[in-house]
Amino acid sequence: MMGFPGSLRRAALVLCLALSACSESPPSSGFAGLGEQADAGEFAQPAPGDRLRFPEDFGPHPRHRIEWWYLTANLTTDQGEPLGLQWTQFRQALVARDADAPAPAANRWPMEAGWMAHAAVSFREQHGFAEKLARGDIGQAGATAEPFNVWLDDWHLQALEEGQWRLQVNGEGWSYDLRLTVQREPVAHGDHGFSAKSASGEGSMYFSLVNLAIAGEVTLNGEVHRVSGLGWFDREWSSQFLKAGQQGWDWFALHLDGGYKLMAFRLREDEGAFVSGSWINANGDVESLGAGDLLLEPAGWQTSQHGRVPAQWRLRIPPHEVDLLIEAPAGDYWNNGLFPYWESPVSVTGSHGGVGYMELTGYGG
């Protein structure tokens, strides 16, 4: 999940409008004052030279305007069938706050941040999606670094013990209860965690856990499936939305044969695209990829309910002789929330086989 595109940004503003309707806060701290606050320069913005800190960066960053926790999983049922899962939680701030500053009293019904969570399950060419909205600082949603916990209502991603997490999510006709085992140290993307999102230098702080072992149960229409497989967890925060002229992004997280991992994205601009990525070998060494190293282009399109999307891609990394064909399975993988976007598991063939996930935003109506 690269961040808020124009569509998800509007979704966040709709969220803030909906949640601020009954707030007792003054107008400057609600939806009506968002533009004023955004121009005031009070939000912190990541920059080259910033560094990651653990475990603090697993928790919230109230000085920043936007952040998200994001998990994708490529699983197999006990019958040998592929099953994909996705969970994301966003925080959208209206007011910047120092990390050590006390939160406003919940009984004042504050509106300093809104939260949004997405979850999906993909199985047998069917795709189920659910969305939840919440206001911050009243206990309905939040996040902590120690102990690690991210929640919105009864959806939870939380640490059980060192290196062990549990994810519990439910939607209409489906649910999952999974145990996640952290098997590698976090991977810092870009410049020690600062990930540029344009040639002019705008960016975010971005790290991933790229080799989560996952096992548990997925219930679909009353049928319980035992599942196991690999997960990819992203953590990202910033105070900038996409810059003017950027229409959306194409993002990939891939588990490849030989223990290689690959993150790649393309931000589509009025003229051309900004591309970046990380090539991670089996022992965890990370190489940042730029436009000269990473070639990413659509190889096939699919027309579905919200318009045409590039459901097939060719990805090349000439320095490593990597040449991949990335394909979504048959089916329609639009996440139909406030503003839809495409999110699907993928298969990988070519110089390396593998599986992974693909997110496409800014397509369709």
* pLDDT tens per residue across span 130-143: 999 998 888 899 99
Q: Is the pLDDT of residue 18 over 60?
A: no
Residues 183-194, mean pLDDT to the nearest whole number: 96
pLDDT for 2 equals 54
**Mean pLDDT score across all residues of the chain:** 88
Domain spans in the chain, listed from the N-terminal domain onward: 6-360
52 forms beta bridges with: none
pLDDT for 31 equals 22
| pLDDT tens figures, 262-314 | 999 999 988 889 999 999 999 999 999 998 899 999 999 998 878 899 999 99
pLDDT for 245 equals 72
Look-up of token digits 């926790």: 69
How far apart, in whole angstroms, are the C-alpha atoms of residue 87 and residue 218? 14
Cβ-contact 16, 114 below 8 angstroms? yes
How far apart, in whole angstroms, are the C-alpha atoms of residue 101 and residue 88? 26
Characterize the bridge pairing of strands 174-181 and 203-220.
antiparallel
| pLDDT tens figures, 323-336 | 999 999 999 999 99
Given pLDDT bands bounded at 50, 70 and 90, which one contains residue 171?
Answer: very high
Cβ-contact 58, 145 below 8 angstroms? yes
Burial class (CB in 10 A: 0-12, 13-18, 19+), 103: middle
How far apart, in whole angstroms, are the C-alpha atoms of residue 84 and residue 125? 10
CATH topology classification for 6-360: AttH-like fold (2.40.370)
How far apart, in whole angstroms, are the C-alpha atoms of residue 118 and residue 130? 6
Residues 150-173, mean pLDDT to the nearest whole number: 96
How far apart, in whole angstroms, are the C-alpha atoms of residue 60 and residue 81? 36
pLDDT for 42 equals 87
pLDDT for 281 equals 95
Cβ-contact 43, 96 below 8 angstroms? yes
Three-class secondary structure of residue 91 per DSSP: strand
Residues 194-204, mean pLDDT to the nearest whole number: 90
Q: Which of 152, 150, 130 is nearest to 85 (CA)?
A: 130
| pLDDT tens figures, 226-263 | 999 999 999 999 998 766 777 889 999 999 999 999 99
